[in-house]
Structure 1
Amino acid sequence: MKTTVEPLSPTRVKLAVEMTFDELKPAFDAAYKKIGAEVRIPGFRPGKVPARILDQRIGRPAILDEVVSNAVPQAYGEALQENDVRPLGQPEIEVTKLEDGETITFTAEVDVRPTIEVPDLESLAVTVDPVEVTEEEMDNQINALRDRFAMLTGVDRSAATGDYVSLDLSASVDGKEVEGGTTTGLSYEVGAGDLMVGLDEALVGMDEADTKTFQTQLAAGDQAGKTADVEITVRSVKEKQLPAVDDEFASTASEFDTLEELRADIRERLTRTKRLQQGASARDKLVEHLIASTDLPLPEGVVNGELEWRKQAMTAELDEAGMTLESYLEGLDTTVEVHDNELRNSVEQAVRTQFILDAIADQREIGIENDDLVTYIMSRAQRLGISPDEYA
């Protein structure tokens, strides 16, 4: 097999491959075997039809099509290895010559990663924030833990921000009930702001058994964007009582006996997290510097492929939420044009970053252990609900 590689641009190459029919004998044998098992010709058992009979009955062009469809992808893979070409995405393959009994020639154009000259990293320096755990951060962790062990106690007063209410809710548009817009006994934290616009303002000041109606614009569903009348009835009002910060709380909320031990553990965990964040920040700043100082052309096919994948993923998420892209962007006070530009910039930055990291990994000969790769594939396949072979 003869192969050549022609650079078309810094991010695209064309491979030319020529194969003789002697080299294609295994592919012809496989084609005759496959087709012979599928056809029924009087006087011959399936799979036992001679090649010349198949040529006569099925036609030589059909045999050649089968050979080409199997031999070309295999030859393409061998040509990549032989020329040390690492493709990005699928190739555009064209059979340029097919002389029966002589040769098959094809070309394959494919995107490739550009050659990147990574400077000496030892000579580069970046500035990152020091690892420092503040008392405020410690208190935030303690308060979050207190919140998890808080008790809800009924109160004989009007609802206020931070209270929990049990409420009945019913939404209607033009007097007709909204599908899925009715619920009873819903537990809701006043001020959470994650259910519907206007609900928190309506709840503040309401007493147990009070009923109120307010209007809101529906954000999702078949009637998204329409104004709905929402009737709410408060069943109960409860306030959150946080536990005192003492040794008893520490022993209840953790494996430690004293508050001092709990705070020491929190400080240690925060310090570890900040060290990881510091390393990530240093990496990001280093990559930003390398991107800014390196001429890094991007393969348009890779960028467009990633762009299309992200758009499809976003559309699927919005469909599941009952929203359109236009209504979602309207809520963010932006336009489709601005969103598309921001998305493309994000994709281009992500591709540049990956190219830089790959170049650094190659320069430093950073690899991955086979056991780690197998574990990763097994984990991802299990999460996606497919077999490891399908994921790989």
Structure 2
Amino acid sequence: MSVKVEKIEKNVVELEVTVEAGKFSAAVNTAAKKLAGRVNIPGFRKGKAPRRLVEQAVGTEALYNEALDHLLGPAYAEAVTESAIDPVDRPDVDLVQIEEGKDLIFKAKVTVKPEVELGEYKGLQVEKEAVTVDDAKIEEELKRKQDQHARLITIEEGKAEEGDTATIDFEGFVDGVAFPGGKGENYGLGIGSGTFIPGFEEQLVGAEIGQEVDVNVKFPDEYHSEDLAGKEALFKVKIHKIQRKELAPLDDEFAKDVSNFETLEELKEDIRKRLIETEEKRVENAFRNAVIAKAVDNASVEIPEVMIDKRVDAMVHDLEHNLSYQGLNLEQYFAYTNSNETDMRERFRPQAAESVKTELVLEGIAKAEGIQVSEDELNEELKKLGELYKQDPEALKQSLIARGELEYYKQSLVNDKTVKFLVENNA
């Protein structure tokens, strides 16, 4: 087999592949035997008719198509390897010559991975934030714990305040007509929680038990129901019950109740330690991402649209997968967000393009620096993965191979090593 490579436009090449006549004839003979088992030819058992009669029965075109089904794929794959190109899409195949006794010739036009023009990626001098945790953050966390462990008490008299939970009946009207889904009974609403339409909860502040309140609001223009979006509405609300949080004092007894510590100071110190650990991780991730972003910004690459489209496809698939855990599907999501798939895919494109560029730049840097993952390193990472998920590392490896994902996994490890290289060479 021989291959000619021609670059016909940026990121698109055309392979002219020539398959020897003998190889094509062998494929045609094999195809005839397979077709013989599918057709009825008088005087012969299935699979036993001579090729000439099989060809007469099915036609030469069908015979050639059967041969091509089994020959083109391997021939194209061999041509890709021989020409050292990196396709990112399915090829557009055009038959140039197909005749038994002659070489089979076909052309395959395909989009390939683009070349990256690397900019500066060492000595970027990205500054890392300082890790700081002040007393205000510790007090904020203490108050959160205090609020979390508060006791709800029902007040006998008084007015609703911010932070109270009011049990209410309500019914909504637009232009004096009740609308579907706008009615509820004995609903527990946290005042200030932001659960209801903006402006609703604020108008309950100051209301008393047993009081009926008219609440006037306007539905947001982006409201998920088109029938209500942007419209003025009146809600008739009756207050049945008001519950208020009773906060425990912040003292040693509180520390004992909500933790394993004996004193409030010990609890504060533990909070400080955990906040510092969280802040260190946040700062490290932000620093790492900033180094990557600067290296990517310094590089130039023209990304084929098909690569962006595929990344958008993956993002849509991930969203659909995540929604399924919430018992939702894309149609429900579109109805709730008042959008559609076209709008969503368009919103995803900038992020998808940036993601693809980042991967291409990291691959380019790895190639320039000779960064690779050895078999020992791969096995070590699989061992860690196996320990994490309590699975046999070899079984994990075989699973990745079976799904055709081992090379993707190895590339992710190369990317991790490349990022580590960038961080280490930032100064």
Q: TM-score, normalised to structure 2's length? A: 0.72
Per the alignment, residue 332 of structure 1 pairs with none
The residue that corresponds to 2:409 in the other structure is none
Return the letter of the residue paired with 1:153.
Answer: I
* 1:270 counterpart (254, 272, 275): 275
Structure 2 residues without counterparts, runs of 5 or longer: 321-328, 391-398, 406-427
1:30-109 to 2 correspondences below 5 Å: 31-32=31-32, 34-109=34-109
Separation in 2 of the partners of 1:148 and 1:25?
78
- Give the partner amino acid of 1:217: F
Give the superposition deviation at 1:126. 1.0
Does residue 14 of structure 1 match 2:19? no
Aligned-partner Cα distance in 1 for 2:135–2:373:
39
Residues 95-114 of structure 1 show CA distances to partners (whole Å, capped at 9, x for unaligned) of 33323343333333333333
Q: Secondary structure at the match of 1:123?
A: coil
Considering fraction of residues, name the structure with more strand.
1
Query: What is the SS of the residue equivalent to 2:137?
Result: helix
> Is contact 2:312-2:345 (8 Å) kept?
no
Give distance in 2, aligned partners of 1:45 and 1:176.
78
- Alignment partner for residue 372 of structure 2, among 365, 370, 381? 365
Query: In structure 1, the residue corresponding to 2:213 is in which secondary structure?
Result: strand
**What is the CA distance between 1:223 and its match in structure 2?**
1.8
- Distance in 2 separating the partners of 1:27 and 1:133: 72
Q: Is the 8 Å Cα contact of residues 151 and 246 (structure 2) preserved in structure 1? A: yes
Secondary structure class of the residue paired with 1:166: strand
Q: Does 1:205 align with 2:214?
A: no
Alignment map for 1:1-392 (pairs within 5 Å): 1-9=1-9, 11-24=11-24, 27-28=27-28, 31-32=31-32, 34-116=34-116, 118=118, 121-155=121-155, 156-215=157-216, 216-217=218-219, 219-221=223-225, 223-225=227-229, 226-306=231-311, 316=330, 319-325=333-339, 344-362=349-367, 363=369, 364-366=371-373, 369=378, 371=382
Distance between the aligned counterparts of 2:224 and 2:191, measured in 1? 21
Distance in 1 between residues matched to 2:260 and 2:144, nearest whole Å: 16
- The answer to whether the 8 A contact 1:12-1:299 is kept is no
Q: How many residues align?
A: 372
- The one-letter code of the counterpart of 2:372 is E
Q: Alpha carbons of 1:181 and 1:108: their partners in 2 closer, same or farther (altered >3 Å)?
A: farther
Query: 5+ unaligned residues in a row in structure 1: which ranges?
Result: 327-335, 380-386
CA distance 1:122–1:320, shift in 2 (3 Å):
closer
List per-residue Cα deviations over 1:10-36 (Å, max 9, x = no partner): 533333322235335675466446544
In the alignment, is the contact (CA less than 8 A) between 1:111 and 1:302 conserved in 2? no
Give, in whole Å, the separation in 2 of the partners of 1:85 and 1:17.
Answer: 14
For 1:338-371, what per-residue CA distance to the aligned partner results, in whole angstroms no more than 9, with x for missing partners?
Answer: x998755444333222222233344422578363
Question: Which whole-Å CA distance do the structure 2 matches of 1:236 and 1:95 have between them?
Answer: 79
* Cα pair 1:164 1:237 within 8 Å, conserved: yes
Q: Give yes or no for contact 1:222–1:322 (8 Å, CA) kept in 2.
A: no
d(CA) in 2 for partners of 1:272, 1:259? 20
Say if 1:287 and 1:356, in contact at 8 Å, map to a contact too: no
Opposite residue 191 of structure 1, the aligned amino acid is G
Instruction: Rate the CA distance shift 1:31–1:140 in 2: closer, same or farther, 3 A.
Output: farther
Distance change >3 Å, CA 89–CA 171, structure 1 → 2: farther
What TM-score comes out, normalization by structure 1 length? 0.78
Q: How far apart are residue 61 of structure 1 and its match? A: 0.6
Q: Distance in 2 between matches of 1:28 and 1:246?
A: 88
Q: Deviations over 1:108-158 (max 9, x none)?
A: 333333333546755332112112222222233333333332222212321
**1:330 counterpart residue number:** none
Matched AA of 1:221: S
Paired residue type of 1:202? Q
